Amino acid sequence: MSEKLSFYLDGLSLREKILLGVISLLLGAFLGLKLAQILSFWYYDPQNLERFSNEQGQILKLSSLKEEQKLNLNELEKTLLKFKIPYQKQLDELYKLANAKHIHFHSIKDKKIEKEYFISYKLELEFEAEFMKTMQFLKALEQTNIGLKGLNLVKDQDKKGLKVMIYLDLLVLKAY
């Protein structure tokens, strides 16, 4: 057999021998790939398929959790922006509200308490005003970022008004 093959190859030109070698290599590669496909079919493992589908489900779940965390982070950053307003700016806003409602403070007492991440200011405001002006001021105060801690209303017998004590908490984040 090898003599016949040798005799056949001797009769071919160099170009035909190279072409026959390339065709043999391509045929060998094709048969090797086909054999690998057949063997993988025979050794089919349903656990691998189940594990793969579980991993895909976990990947989808993790990506949805990541998106949810991004949304939560954005909401938290918006909330933190409320606490980055400086103390003086919050006081100015309080004065603007009072002036808009024609309220003049008799006394303002403040107390500064420093914590690890923020500074807390406790304010005590005292003023006299009519009932409607006081209610309008309190309603406007609710719309701000200033936390109302307590309220003391006393009717003034001498005048037609109320003596009001308001206790406020202002929080400001410390600089990083």
- 81-130 pLDDT per residue, tens: 777 778 888 888 888 888 888 888 888 888 988 888 888 888 888 888 88
Residue 121 phi/psi, 5-degree rounding, is -115, 125
Candidate from 2-6, 61-65, 68-72, 153-157 with smallest mean pLDDT: 153-157
Domain ranges in the chain?
2-78, 87-173
What gap in Å lies between CA 120 and CA 112, rounded to an integer? Answer: 6
Q: What percent of the chain has pLDDT over 90?
A: 22
Instruction: Give, in order, the Cα–Cα distances in Å from 62 to each of 56, 72, 76.
Output: 10, 15, 21
Q: At 138, is the secondary structure helix, strand, or coil?
A: helix
For residue 149, the 8-state DSSP code is E
At residue 165, does pLDDT exceed 60?
yes
Q: For residue 111, what are the contacts with CB-CB under 8 A and spacing of at least 6?
A: 121, 122
DSSP-assigned states of every residue in 27-67: HHHHHHHHHHHHHHHHT--HHHHHHHHHHHHHHHHHHHHHH
Using CA atoms, how far apart are residues 128 and 154, in angstroms rounded to an integer? 9
pLDDT value, residue 19: 92
Our separate counts of H helices and E strands in the chain read 5, 4
First to last CA, the chain: 87
- For 87-173, CATH number? 3.30.70.60
Question: What span, in angstroms and rounded, lies between the C-alpha atoms of 155 and 158?
Answer: 9
pLDDT, residue 42, reads 61
pTM to 2 decimal places: 0.52
Rounded to 10 degrees, the C-alpha dihedral 27/33/39/42 comes to -100
